[in-house]
Structure 1
Amino acid sequence: MKFTKFIKPELEQIKENANFTEEEERIFSLLCRGFSQKQISTKENLSLRTIEYRVRDIKDKIERTGVFDWMKKNC
């Protein structure tokens, strides 16, 4: 999944519906701006493994919002 491919309306829909924690929202925002997981790990002062877990959780929450289904139909 390429987070940088989301457009602004999709990002807003995801943020409204995904119920991210504060940490997940920060990580999601950085991913959407093109930061790598390693860069985020350094910036947030968290282990790379923690970032990997958070990204997995973020992906799970995004899938539950239905954005991917919408993208398949409209993109």
Structure 2
Amino acid sequence: MAFARTLVTVEACDVEVVRGRARVTVRYQADDDPSARRAGWAILHRLDELAEIDGRQLTRRFGNRWYPVRPDRAP
């Protein structure tokens, strides 16, 4: 996603269909937690402008596990 690349270093992105629903995944690296969080919410906001979104999830990886980023931490 070109928009994400303007904010952070994008490692991978993918659009797939899972159980009949589109899934967009953007994996990226940022300099620090606040900028990573801002980028994640900005990417979700941009996707909202492009398509109708039923659900969204912003996660952060610690070791081998992914944990949701709390919505109350959005800018």
TM bin, normalised by shorter chain, reads 0.3 to 0.5
| TM-score where L is the length of structure 1 | 0.39
The structure where helix makes up a greater share of residues is 1
The structure where strand makes up a greater share of residues is 2
| TM-score where L is the length of structure 2 | 0.39
